[in-house]
């Protein structure tokens, strides 16, 4: 398999899929408050995707995954499985949504803070989002994947946080996970890092950042990944298209779209 270059018809479908994935996060957002279960959040997303969007929740049955979204709380790194767990004040929560519409995938995740966060939690969430956008800012034809990963890693480590290495971004399109892998750190002379970006490529940028050490382990449920040291973990994710003169973020929220005036982008 090689890196697919999307044609204009495919790009249109990627835009639609991206928009729908972003919409799901906006639909679930008002329900995120103390006392709600992650299972309830899954049900809200599932119903919206299936009944309103007439789309498919990509995680459901993917490699045996049992739910339609991933909900990862506090020390959970990723792939938290929605269930009976209730949210409480001070929790930080990642919701990861992937939908399939007209055969194409849109994949996005963001952090939510329940009630009043600790200073550390707030900083971790903000730095992770900044790191994602600093990586995304590097994306244009001729840049390398190493440029993206290094920008993310530098920002994260300047705060003495750590980048999780076991999970990475990925090409996306007809398949959920396509080539190439997008590392969120730089390795000099690594073949992955020297891949040169071309217009028409689509991939995700989805750094996972730990407040303590970068090491992780998977719980006995076979899905939920947690930090080894039980420190906090945060993740943000967007699906990106490489354009002739830079990039287009296909999964922007309404708020982010309003901020993305040409002026804001130039700064």
The pair of three-digit structure tokens given for residue 227, joined into one six-digit string: 């930090």
Residue whose CB is less far from ligand MF3, 77 or 117? 77
51 binds ligand MF3 (CB under 6 A): no
Q: Is residue 180 reached through a cis peptide bond, with omega within 30 degrees of 0 on the bond before it?
A: yes
Residue whose CB is less far from Co ion, 109 or 193? 109
The span from the CA of 168 to the CA of 27, in Å, is 26
55 binds ligand MF3 (CB under 6 A): no
Please give the DSSP secondary-structure letter assigned to residue 176.
S
The span from the CA of 80 to the CA of 69, in Å, is 9
List 34, 62, 102, 258, residue binding ligand MF3 (CB under 6 A): 62
List 75, 94, 162, 204, residue binding Co ion (CB under 5 A): 204
237-258 CB burial, b ≥16 within 10 A, e <16: bbbbbbeeebbbbbbbbeeeee
Pick from 67, 75, 65: which is nearest to 38 by CA? 67
178 binds ligand MF3 (CB under 6 A): no
Cα distances (Å, whole numbers) of residue 169 to 49, 101, 120: 23, 20, 25
List 143, 237, 251, 252, residue binding ligand MF3 (CB under 6 A): 237
Q: How far is the CB of 109 from ligand MF3 (least distance, A)?
A: 6
Residue whose CB is less far from Co ion, 25 or 258? 25
Residue whose CB is less far from ligand MF3, 117 or 202? 202
Q: How far is the CB of 119 from ligand MF3 (least distance, A)?
A: 28
107 binds ligand MF3 (CB under 6 A): yes
List 10, 42, 96, 147, residue binding ligand MF3 (CB under 6 A): 96
The pair of three-digit structure tokens given for residue 193, joined into one six-digit string: 């890092």
Residue whose CB is less far from ligand MF3, 98 or 211? 98
147 binds ligand MF3 (CB under 6 A): no
**Do strands 208-210 and 162-163 pair parallel, antiparallel, or not at all (unpaired)?**
antiparallel
128 binds ligand MF3 (CB under 6 A): no
List 11, 21, 70, 209, residue binding ligand MF3 (CB under 6 A): 70
Q: Is 22 exposed, middle or buried (0-12, 13-18, 19+ CB in 10 A)?
A: buried
The span from the CA of 190 to the CA of 185, in Å, is 11
The span from the CA of 143 to the CA of 166, in Å, is 24
23 binds Co ion (CB under 5 A): no
Residues lying near Co ion in the complex (CB under 5 A)? 96, 107, 109, 204, 237
């Amino acid at each position: 398999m090689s890196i697919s270059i999307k044609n204009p018809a495919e790009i249109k479908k990627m835009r639609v899929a991206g928009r729908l994935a972003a919409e799901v996060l906006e639909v679930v957002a008002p329900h995120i408050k103390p006392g709600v279960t992650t299972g309830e959040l899954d049900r809200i997303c599932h119903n919206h995707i299936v009944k309103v969007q007439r789309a498919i929740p990509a995680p459901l049955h993917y490699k045996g995954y049992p739910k339609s979204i991933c909900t990862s709380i506090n020390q959970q790194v990723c792939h938290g499985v929605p269930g009976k767990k209730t949210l409480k004040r001070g929790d930080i929560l990642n919701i990861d949504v992937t939908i399939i519409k007209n055969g194409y995938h849109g994949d996005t995740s963001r952090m939510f803070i329940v009630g009043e966060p600790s200073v550390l939690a707030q900083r971790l969430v903000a730095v992770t989002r900044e790191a994602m956008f600093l990586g995304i800012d590097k994306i244009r034809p001729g840049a390398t994947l190493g440029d993206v990963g290094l920008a993310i890693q530098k920002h994260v480590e300047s705060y003495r946080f750590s980048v999780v290495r076991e999970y990475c971004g990925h090409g996306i399109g007809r398949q959920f996970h396509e080539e190439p892998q997008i590392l969120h750190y730089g390795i000099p002379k690594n073949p992955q890092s020297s891949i040169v970006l071309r217009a028409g490529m689509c991939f995700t940028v989805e750094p996972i950042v730990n407040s303590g050490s970068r090491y992780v382990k998977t719980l006995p449920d076979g899905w939920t990944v947690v930090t080894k040291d039980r420190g906090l973990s945060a993740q943000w994710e967007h699906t990106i298209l490489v354009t002739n003169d830079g990039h287009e973020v296909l999964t922007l929220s309404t708020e982010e779209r309003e901020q993305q005036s040409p002026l804001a982008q130039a700064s």
